[in-house]
Amino acid sequence: MTFTRSDVEIPAEGATLGGWLFVPEGAEGPLPAVTMTIELGGIKDQGLEPFARAFAEAGYVVLAHDHRTFGSSSGTPRHDVHPWQQIADWRRAISYLESRPEVDERRIGLWGTSFAGGHALVLGATDRRLRAVVAQVPMISGLRIGQRRALPEHQAAIDRRYDEDERAQLRGSAPATVALVSKDPGVPALYRDPEVVDFYLRPYDSDVEWENRLTLRSSRNSRMYEPGVYIDTVSPTPLLMIVGTHDTMTPTDMALAAYERALEPKRLELIRGGHFSPYLEEFGAASAAATEWFGRHLS
């Protein structure tokens, strides 16, 4: 099915969310819809469009938006992550979809990946306007992921940096920033794994510039975020989890243990590879699983 893509702006409290709206052509009557957004520190141009196109080709209106302070969305300080603000903004995006004349407001699904896959669990459990949820390689526990990423002997130094940044903000300084990814050990960065660095730094075609930068407090906010506690209350909304077999960013074992706590209706789609395989070599399997799930529950 052919479709059009247009830029849209979604008013949110204190900011405007920039998004793309994909609308299938030639359809009669309001259509089911999918709302989606991207991972920690990324922008929609870095991997959302292929999924959005797959859903639009299947006959869904699709809204893909940038998080506040990133990409085409406004908000300050830039490159600042607050999970609960992102959830509130996404709830506003759902309301925006409901208001569109092309959309059947009774048939809206949600797709989130990585950090936003955690948001998918929270919204699936707390927003009953949603009729189906897809959580791709979702973050389950910020605390446990943070503990795995840092050796115990390094944790005290990390905490000191957080505390120094907090005290500096009290004195009027802007939040400290670090690189999101870097292979250079001399550059302060959140991620150094070559797979992560290569994914974020790969070229993409867009007029929207992505900056390799994140506020330091975003890391602390991420470590305090525990979306997995919501997983057993997503039901009765149908939940699909797409999990990589060798994911070390949002670890496979955490995702599988969380899936066991989820209630029916649910489905697990295991795909080969690590955290980024759904975007790359396993895109076909990941997008087909999500499209089939929406087809089953939004038709």
Closest listed residue to residue 135, CA positions, set 36, 253, 59 = 36
Q: What is the pLDDT of residue 155?
A: 85
pLDDT digit string, tens, across residues 231-262: 999 999 999 999 999 999 999 999 999 999 99
Res. 291 pLDDT band, cuts 50 70 90: very high
- Three-state SS sequence of the chain: CCEEEEEEEEEECCEEEEEEEEEECCCCCCEEEEEEECCCCCCHHHCHHHHHHHHHHCCCEEEEECCCCCCCCCCCCCCCCCHHHHHHHHHHHHHHHHHCCCEEEEEEEEEEECHHHHHHHHHHHHCCCEEEEEEECCCCCHHHHHHHHCCHHHHHHHHHHHHHHHHHHHCCCCCCEEEEECCCCCCCEEECCHHHHHHHHCCCCCCCCCCCCEEHHHHHHHHCCCHHHHHHHCCCCCEEEEEECCCCCCCHHHHHHHHHHCCCCEEEEEECCCCCCCCCCCHHHHHHHHHHHHHHHHC
Mean pLDDT of 61-81: 98
Res. 227 pLDDT band, cuts 50 70 90: very high
Gap between the Cα atoms of 123 and 118, Å rounded: 9
| CATH (domain of 122) | 3.40.50.1820
60-74, 120-134, 136-150, 231-245: which range is least confident on average?
136-150
Distances (CA, A) of 284 to 17, 84, 185: 29, 31, 35
Q: Is residue 185 part of a domain?
A: no
Q: Is residue 184 part of a domain?
A: no
pLDDT reading at 79 higher than 90: yes
Mean pLDDT of 121-134: 98
The dihedrals phi and psi of 6, each to the nearest 5 degrees, come to -130, 155
Q: What is the pLDDT of residue 239?
A: 99
pLDDT digit string, tens, across residues 175-208: 999 999 999 989 999 999 999 999 999 998 888 9
Print the domain residue range for 250: 3-141+224-298
Residue 242: strand pairing partners: 136, 269
Q: Is residue 21 part of a domain?
A: yes
Q: Is residue 148 part of a domain?
A: no
Q: What is the pLDDT of residue 204?
A: 86
pLDDT reading at 152 higher than 80: no
Distances (CA, A) of 172 to 28, 169, 175, 176, 218: 56, 5, 9, 12, 18
Residue 214: strand pairing partners: 178
Query: Number of folded domains in the chain?
Result: 1
Q: Is residue 113 part of a domain?
A: yes
C-beta separation of 87 from 119 below 8 A: yes
Q: Is residue 249 part of a domain?
A: yes
Contacts 24+ apart (CB under 8 A), 167-174: 174/77
Q: What is the pLDDT of residue 24?
A: 97
Mean pLDDT of the chain: 96
Mean pLDDT of 51-57: 98
Q: Is residue 46 part of a domain?
A: yes
Mean pLDDT of 28-51: 95
Q: Is residue 164 part of a domain?
A: no
pLDDT digit string, tens, across residues 85-98: 999 999 999 999 99
